[in-house]
Structure 1
Amino acid sequence: MASSEATIVALHYLYPTTVFAYFAVTSLAAVFTLQDLGTSKGTRVQLPGRWTTIGLLAAFVSAHIAQLITTVVRSVAGAGRPPRDDLVVGQLSCVLVFGLQLSRIYDSQQPLWYPYVGSWAMALPFEVVDGVSTWLSSSRTASIEFLLVNTILVSLRCVLLAVLLGLFCFRCIRRTSLILDEEEQPLLSNTKPPRNNESVSQRQNGHSIYGSTSTSGDDSDDRPEMPRDRRRREAHEAMERRLEAGGNWLSYAKDFMIFFPYVWPVGMPELQARAAAVVGCLLASNMFNLLIPRQTGLIMDSLSGISGANPWLAVATYIVLRLASSESGIELLRQWLWIPVQNYSNEAITRAAYSHIMYLSADFHDSKSTSDLVMAIHGGTSISKIVENVLLHAAPMLIDLGVAVVYLSVTFGSYGGFTTVATGTVFFFLASRLIAHTGRDSRRRLNAHFNEYAVRNRGFLGWSTASAFNQLGYEDNRHANAVTTRWSRETQYALRWNCSVALQSAVLTFGLAASAFFAVRRIRLGQATPGQFAMLLMYWAQLCAPLNFFARLGKSISDDFIDAEQLLDIMQRQPLVKNKKGARPLKFVAGEIEFADICFSYDGRKEVINHISLCVPPGTTVAFVGSTGAGKSTLLRLLNRFYDVTTGSIRFDGQDIRDVDLYSLRDRVGVVPQNPILFDDTIMNNVRYGKITASDEEVYDACRAASIHDKIKEFADGYDTRVGEYGVHRLSTIMSADMIVVVEKGKIIEKGSHEQLILEKGRYADLWSKQAFLKPHKYTEDGDKKLDSSDIVNDISVDETKAQLSKVKPQSGDDGTGQLEN
């Protein structure tokens, strides 16, 4: 008889535990494999009758509640004592498990059914066995009325489960027949085409899949997309593409293994030992989290005389434990051990990302803004943040939660364990829903904040324009509206967030209240001590932090992956222009350059350079002239091998530049950019940038060649004079060039000296007439400026002297070849 009773008690606990475990595992598997997102890779079955399912499941949960009430009333009214723990906890657990399923189906427009159907299939035999065992065990002691009510409720639950399973099977069969019928229909259907920005799968599913963005309602803004929003959107879309391609989170996370050598200190035993010691510190923290509440209970029992322990010793032990677990104990040691590992990770990722970006070719840099690259490198620190959150926070807190459930169940019985599990489950579910709902308010708040900043910044930068056009009032009103909108969104977000925090706090408070009542009950029955009640209060205080952390862990990790997504994309890129295997250094002979029937296109469609052939003999100065977009800059970029030609070849002293070492080529070519940018540094360092190893005398010689040495010596600080960024005074030497090449639409249309092209009265003459290539002003006797269109301004910038240090220089004293661009 005792064994039979033990079996029934075990059955009451096993039933909800098994169903909950199956539902939790399958739901997590659905999230892990992306089936809950409604993508084509999911096994989602779109069936009608969701409200029917909700109604049947609600009736099933109500039947459990009714049996729980019946059990409590019978026990109190009949025997005058509380009902058995296994009966109450078992029914409460069933209400929790199936109530959770009911709420999830209610929240989802298109549920993934197999976690639910599997739970119902597992629950049906448990219900039958439970009903039979309860009848057999209570038939001799229970009243006929109780047995009748219990039988009716158990039978009702079995019927409801059978109906739910039957409806699902019927709908699956019906759906299969509908699919077969659809396969016999004409290929061209009358279905309306999807609306703009809506995929076919979205129309079929009846809702937006992940990655689709709603532009309706209050979530849309009438302002243009900001760079921050664009970066976030692009990273989120890239994350979704990787997830869908991989099919699960594990495959997605494998891509980030490229960062492993930077996150884990490979080849650094000292840092690895520190990381291992950190794990030991975390385990010690878990032990303290168990011992400190227990020691509090021992102090209370020693003071009340329940135990014979020395209260002074108990208090001293408590103080030692608190000190060891505080920021001046194990936490200080953990931080001392971890900070070098953390700094290594952040430093290594930052250095590797910067180095990788700098060695990518021009096609990449031309497609990215500086802010994008800076933010991508900054996002790389999110990789170490993910590792820290999972290993240093999630794992220890998960251990704490498991220990708390087990310890409280042992100390306060099944009620204590159930209350802890139920509170945690409800808290997680509620917190995840609230976080999802407040996410939109958070985005709108941030958008309003950045919009206000942008309006204010534009106003300050454009003050002169606003004043000149008498639009100060307009700018003032626009700023006022931005400020009002931002504070309105701040208020909405704060109210929603505070309400969600209050609701979560209420859940924890009610859970604590239930645990406290159960603890008092056991103390009154002599099954626990007042010291254990104090221990319970401390445990609940420690549980709040892990519950809040886990409620936000999923979103935090997702956000970290999104932040790191852009850097991952960059680190996986390879330069399009790179050295061939076995490339040899450039052999410099005389400096002859030949463009041999070259063509080039940036996008693969429209050719920027169209069959250009040109030979530049050594010692010849050639100027490329043409309107914007004609291809002048592209020619020089091709010469430097920022890009490779599509067809044809560029030869340097007879050597195809694609066959020589890339850096030996660039070491021989000096460049004066069309828009020179100076570093915020001294003139000496700016000029020396053309050849970092140049001596001071070489810098002086380069400046003398550029006719700027004497001018620099006139400055108070000479070559130590600092120049600001973006300094430009341009070199205009077109007239003195040996050859002027006019480029238009990627083709050479004219070629010759300045005088020849002027006399031809072609495109060059037309361009010349629109420019002001003038010599330093000559003045008449009356002081008026006298202009002569045949002269040229002799303005030379510091930036141009950089080329003098690295420009093509023939050996044996021959003249050099340089390229100047108008």
Structure 2
Amino acid sequence: MQQRIIATERVHGDRRDWINLRAMLPYLWEFRGRAAIALGCLVLARVANVGVPVVLKGIVDAFSGTRGEALILPFSLLLAYGALKLGSSLFNELRDVVFARVRYRAMRRLSTRVLEHLHALSLRYHLERRTGAVSRDLERGTRSVSTIINYMVFSVLPVLVEFALVAAILFGRYDPVFAFVTFGTVAVYVAFTFAITEWRMDYRHDMNRLDSSANGQAVDSLINYETVKYFGNERLEIDRYDATLATWEEMAVKSQSSMSLLNFGQGAIIALGVTALMVFAARGVVAGTMTVGDLVLVNGLLLQLFIPLGFLGIVYRQIKYALADMDLVFKLLERKPEIADRPSARPLAPGAGGIRFERVDFHYQPERPILSDLDFSIEPGQTLAVVGHSGAGKSTLARLLFRFYDVTGGRILIDGQDLRDLTQDSVRAAIGIVPQDTVLFNESIYYNLLYGRPTATRAEVERAAEMAHIRTFVEGLPDGWDTRVGERGLKLSGGEKQRVAIARAILKHPRILVFDEATSSLDSHTEQAIQQTLSEVAEHHTTLVIAHRLSTVVDAHHILVMEQGRIREQGTHRELLAAGGHYAAMWELQQREGAGAAPGRESLT
């Protein structure tokens, strides 16, 4: 039973290899002319290479004749010998030069397509993935394209061409036994190589899996450096990493040991084949049916054939390894985005930015509903706040509005247009967000600001920074706008990062703004300053404010109180306090705890 499963997996793996090879062809088609020229150079190089021992036979036979012949014929043959050697080298280098563009363009195209596809995949995929493992898989996968092209064009095809030329010479000029021994040796060699290599591939697959896992663990521990330090778990992270590498080490040792067995078997097959051919050739010379030049020619042809054939075993292994690596990439490319534009999707039509959640249901898993029968509207130019305890489903509203997920019931409308009927790009272009955790690129402040609208002018960037009250801070830095913010913006304080996020949102010129817990991680003083900026930015925009601190939403036109994915209460700040319900209890608790209520705010009640 186990053998049947292994055989099935092997057949499936072979089928995947052919599928992946076919999938690679479009990346080569762009430079098919160059590829054809490179193949022509390859054939000429092989012809010159095989011609060398043929000319050498003539030289040897000439020296075996009369002295006069030895003085005349070898001279022209020696020139031909040198020309063929030079021609072989020249055409090989021309092949490399001509094919370089094909090879590296294919790598570039595949790398770009993979990154584009990753951006097209849903948020669910990116929440579940491990950055380090994906990074390592992609690195190996895109590199495997270059490996396969390199070996196929520079190793496999040359051997096949040379094999055909040698076969023609042996069949045309010598006893068929030479060809039969040669082809028999090659057949045994190839069969042995394929069988052992297939057996060894399990070790390679395990090595890849463990390598990606170890890399993912290492990257995770470095990304969470501060958390590791907070809990003093450096040894725990190192032990996890080392345990994975220990298993990888075992697989690597087995892989190397089996490769030594393969190499020895290949060497033994070649040695037996060459010995048998030389015995037949020597007997032919003794019997007078072959000249010494024939002996030299057969020996030269065999050396030229079996030496690259010896490397062909390594090439086959590397191609199999590269196909295993490539499979990771093409399987990723086969993964369908969870959220995709409909064929009839149209851009979001211009409008004032009114939003309508119409009896919306949503769940990540069917057994765990997140939103249930959610029904509310945000009028154009007004601000709606959503409050509630953690886990109430508040932040899910922003994800649905950006269409990172599709609703499982009901619909979401912008200016009367169902999001599912619109292109994702046009929907997201109409929405600006200031998130709770502002993550910045490890680039300059100017780059991170410009990210809101890459086509903006410098004057527009500076104006947005001024509106976000960060321009003075930036211009006071030693490097000014060119100051690098560090990994994920760690060189900036929380308030500074939030102002950068606000400036980016301003620069985007959206019709809708979303503030998702935009001040929850700030101290009270910074929160008040940021809140004032947010209020200024929200004017004349349709705004959705998701908040935990009630002091940040008292000026909203309408407030929803959510609990377990449902709207429990709604109204203005004054109305909700007067109702004395859940919102009023939350307000009283936060006021008592000093959770962020600004001085004098209570008088607004």
Note the residue ranges of structure 2 that are not aligned, 5 or more in a row: 499-517, 520-530, 532-548, 600-605
Matched residue type, 1:402: A
**Residue in 2 that maps onto 1:333:** 94
Match status 1:533 vs 2:295: yes
Q: Is the 8 A contact 1:586 1:660 kept in 2?
A: no
- Residue 743 of structure 1: which of 542, 562, 569 is its match? 562
Query: Structure 2 vs 1, CA of residues 277 and 746 (structure 1 numbering), >3 Å: closer, same or farther?
Result: same
How far apart, in 1, do the equivalents of 2:302 and 2:134 lie?
A: 46
Secondary structure class of the residue paired with 1:576: coil
Q: CA deviation at 1:416?
A: 1.6
Please, which of 48, 57, 60 is the counterpart of residue 297 of structure 1?
57
Query: Are the equivalent residues in 2 in contact too, given 1:411–1:528 (CA < 8 A)?
Result: no
C-alpha displacement of 1:394: 2.9
Equivalent residue for 1:170?
none
- Could you tell me how far apart the structure 2 residues matched to 1:719 and 1:396 are? 56
Matched AA of 1:742: V
RMSD of aligned alpha carbons: 4.1
Match of 1:263 in 2: 28
> Which moves more between the two structures, 440-449 or 472-481?
472-481
**CA deviation string 1:621-652 (max 9, x = no partner):** 33333344432222112222333333323233
> Structure 2 vs 1, CA of residues 293 and 630 (structure 1 numbering), >3 Å: closer, same or farther?
farther
Contact 2:590/2:597 (8 A) holds in 1: no
Deviation at 1:385, TM superposition (A): 4.9
**CA contact 2:359–2:373 (8 Å) conserved in 1:** yes
Shift in CA distance, 298/462, structure 1 to aligned 2, threshold 3 Å: same
Alignment CA distance shift 1:763-1:722 (3 Å): farther
Matches within 5 A, 1:365-764: 365-366=126-127, 368-371=129-132, 374=135, 375-376=137-138, 379-380=141-142, 382-383=144-145, 385-386=147-148, 389-390=151-152, 393-440=155-202, 442=204, 492-548=254-310, 550-551=312-313, 556-572=318-334, 573=336, 576-578=339-341, 581=344, 583-589=346-352, 591-603=353-365, 606-727=368-489, 728-729=494-495, 731-732=518-519, 733=531, 734=549, 735-737=551-553, 738=556, 739-753=558-572
Match of 1:322 in 2: 85
1:54-88 CA-partner distances (Å, limit 9, x unpaired): xxxxxxxxxxxxxxxxxxxxxxxxxxxxxxxxxxx
Distance in 2 (alpha carbons) for counterparts of 1:343 and 1:376: 16
Whole-Å separation in 1 of the counterparts to 2:595 and 2:208: 58
User: Rg: which structure is higher?
Assistant: 1
**Aligned: 1:790 with 2:597:** yes
CA–CA separation in structure 2 for the residues paired with 1:594 and 1:587: 16
1:467-507 CA-to-partner distances (Å, cap 9, x unmatched) read 99888888888888888777666555444433431232122
Change (3 A) 1:494 1:692: closer
Cα deviation digits, residues 645-691 of structure 1 (max 9, x gap): 33323233334344455434322211112322111222233223222
Higher relative contact order (CA 8 A, sep 6+): 2
Bigger CA drift: 720-729 or 665-674? 720-729
Corresponding residue of 1:158: none
- How many Å apart are 1:255 and its aligned residue? 7.5
How far 1:357 sits from its partner (Å)?
3.8
Deviations 1:163-188 (A, max 9, x none): xxxxxxxxxxxxxxxxxxxxxxxxxx
Does the C-alpha gap of structure 1 residues 692 and 540 become closer, same or farther in structure 2, counting only changes over 3 Å? same
Question: Amino acid of the residue matched to residue 262 of structure 1?
Answer: Y
Q: TM-score, normalised by structure 1?
A: 0.57
CA distance, structure 2, for counterparts of residue 472 and residue 725 of structure 1:
21
Give CA deviations for 1:318-363 in whole Å, capped at 9, x if unaligned. 122112112xx11111111111122222222333333344345545
Q: Secondary structure at the match of 2:434?
A: coil
The match for 2:12 among 240, 243, 249 is 240
1:345 maps onto 2:106 in alignment? yes
Cα 1:606–1:522 shift into 2, 3 Å: same
Shift of 1:606: 4.1
Q: Secondary structure at the match of 1:694?
A: coil
Change (3 A) 1:287 1:773: farther
Structure 1 residues 487, 772: CA separation in 2 closer, same or farther (over 3 Å shift)?
A: farther
Alpha-carbon distance in structure 2 between the residues aligned to 1:361 and 1:771 = 37
Structure 2 CA distance for partners of 1:467 and 1:681, relative to 1, 3 Å: closer
Aligned residue identity for 1:263 = L
Contact 1:579 1:662 in 2 (8 A): no
Q: 1:756 to 1:284 in 2, by over 3 A?
A: same
Q: How does 1:18-417 map to 2 (within 5 A)?
A: 202=1, 207-210=4-7, 240=12, 253=18, 259-265=24-30, 271-305=31-65, 308=69, 310-326=73-89, 329-362=90-123, 365-366=126-127, 368-371=129-132, 374=135, 375-376=137-138, 379-380=141-142, 382-383=144-145, 385-386=147-148, 389-390=151-152, 393-417=155-179
One-letter amino acid of the counterpart of residue 680, structure 1: N
- 2:204 and 2:321 in contact (8 A); partners too: no
> What SS does the aligned partner of 2:552 have?
coil
Unaligned runs of 5+ in 1: 1-201, 213-235, 266-270, 775-786, 793-822
Q: Secondary structure at the match of 2:410?
A: strand
Task: Evaluate the alpha carbon distance shift between residue 613 and residue 471 of structure 1 in structure 2; reply closer, same or farther with a 3 A threshold.
Answer: closer
**SS of aligned partner of 1:581:** coil
User: Alignment identity in percent?
Assistant: 26
CA–CA distance in 1 between the matches of 2:388 and 2:53?
Answer: 82
| SS of residue matched to 1:722 | coil
Measure, in 2, the Cα distance between the counterparts of 1:480 and 1:566: 24
- Distance (Å, rounded) in 1 between the aligned partners of 2:344 and 2:41: 50
Do 1:354 and 1:377's aligned partners in 2 also have CA atoms closer than 8 Å? no
Q: What is the CA-CA distance between 1:754 and the residue it aligns to?
A: 5.3
- C-alpha separation in 2, matches of 1:394 and 1:317: 27
2:132·2:216 contact (CA, 8 Å) conserved in 1? no
Cα offset for 1:282? Answer: 1.7
**C-alpha separation in 1, matches of 2:476 and 2:234:** 44
Deviation, structure 1 residue 577: 3.4
* Native 8 Å contact 1:264 1:345 kept in 2: no
Change (3 A) 1:715 1:449: closer
Distance 2:589 2:8 in 1: 52
- TM-score, normalisation: structure 2: 0.75
Distance 1:477 1:663 in 2: 44
Q: How much has 1:721 moved relative to structure 2?
A: 2.6
Q: Distance in 2 between matches of 1:457 and 1:789?
A: 36
Question: How many aligned residue pairs are there?
Answer: 537
Indicate how the Cα distance of structure 1 residues 747 and 560 shifts in structure 2: closer, same or farther if over 3 A, else same.
Answer: same
The 1:402–1:609 alpha-carbon spacing in structure 2 relative to 1, beyond 3 Å, is same
Q: How far does residue 574 in structure 1 lie from its aligned partner after superposition?
A: 5.6
Question: Aligned pair in 2 of structure 1 residues 386, 471: CA closer, same or farther (>3 Å)?
Answer: closer
Closer, same or farther: CA 558–677 of 1 in aligned 2, 3 Å? same
Distance 2:415 2:386 in 1: 21
CA–CA separation in structure 2 for the residues paired with 1:465 and 1:604: 33
